[in-house]
Structure 1
Amino acid sequence: MPENARRIWLCRRDDIADGVARGFDPFDRGQDALFVLSHGGQVYGYRNACPHVDGAPMAWRRDGYLNSSGTRIVCYAHGAQFLPESGRCVQGPCLGQYLQPVPLEVDGGGELYAWLTNRE
C-alpha cells in the first residue's frame, strides 16, 4: 500500500455489479476523487483524473465512467478510452498513458475498502 495511506470503507462489494462503475468522494470535497468498476468479476479502482489533462474529471454524469456496453472506461471530456483491467488508454489523446490506480481491498465480509492518502 502507498506510504501514509489509510484504509477507507467505500461500500459492499456486491453493490457494484459487473459492467458497472461507481464514483466516491471519501473526503467530502464535492467531487468524486476515485471510481471503482467491476469487470470480469474483479474490482478495479482509479483516480477520477484523465492523464491527458491531470485533474480533469472523467464522468459526464454521476457514475458515468463507462461506455454504454460497460467494456471501456471513457473520459467524456476528451473521448479517451481505457481498458478496465489496466487503465491503459487505447484510444484518444493520451494513447498509451495510464489512469492512476487506487489500491482496493475486499475483506472476508464482502466490504470494499480503498487505501488512500489525503492527497487523492
Structure 2
Amino acid sequence: MLFLCNLCELKHGSALGLDPWEQGRDTLLALLYDGRPKVYRNNCPHQNVPMQYRKDRFMSPDGSRIICFAHGASFRPDNGLCIDGPCLGQSLTSLSCLVDSEGRVWLES
C-alpha cells in the first residue's frame, strides 16, 4: 500500500492533487464524497492531459463536479463518469483506497 494523505485533509466540494510516486506533478486527485475518499488518476480521457488549472483546482465552483480545465469536461465525483463535454460517457480512472484506524488514506495495490 502507498500512503496518500490524511482523511482530515479532504474536504467536501474540493479535491487534493497528489504525487505519491514523486514524479514532480500531481498524478492523482483525491476527494471526499458522501464521507468517503475517492481517488482518480489526474488524466482526462479526452486527450490524456492533467485536469487542474493550478494546484488542487479540480472542482467546479460549487464543488459538485470534477472539471477538466483543459477542455471543459465535467465528471461526477462519485464515479468519475463524464456527464458533459468532449468525452461524454467516458470515465476517469478510479483507484481503490482504504482508510486505516488512524485516519490515513492508502492506495491499495
Q: TM tier, shorter chain?
A: over 0.9
TM-score (norm 1): 0.87
The corresponding residue for 1:93 is: 86
Rounded Cα–Cα distance in structure 1 between residues aligned with 2:81 and 2:5: 25
- Structure 2 length as normaliser, TM-score? 0.95
Bigger Cα displacement from structure 2, 65-74 vs 35-44: 35-44
Letter in 2 for 1:104: C
Q: Distance in 1 between matches of 2:91 and 2:46?
A: 10
TM-aligned CA deviation for residue 39 of structure 1: 2.1
Q: Could you list the runs of 4 or more consecutive aligned residues of structure 1 that deviate by over 2 angstroms after TM superposition?
A: none
Task: State the partner residue of 2:28.
Answer: 34
How well do the aligned residues superpose, as a CA RMSD in angstroms? 1.0
Which ranges in structure 2 are unaligned for 5 or more consecutive residues? none
Secondary structure of the residue aligned to 1:11 is strand
Deviation at 1:15, TM superposition (A): 1.2
| Aligned amino acid, residue 27 of structure 1 | W
CA shift digits 1:24-66 (9 cap, x unpaired): 1111111111000112212110000000012x00100000010
Q: Which runs of 5+ in 1 are unaligned?
A: 1-6
Give the number of aligned pairs.
Answer: 109
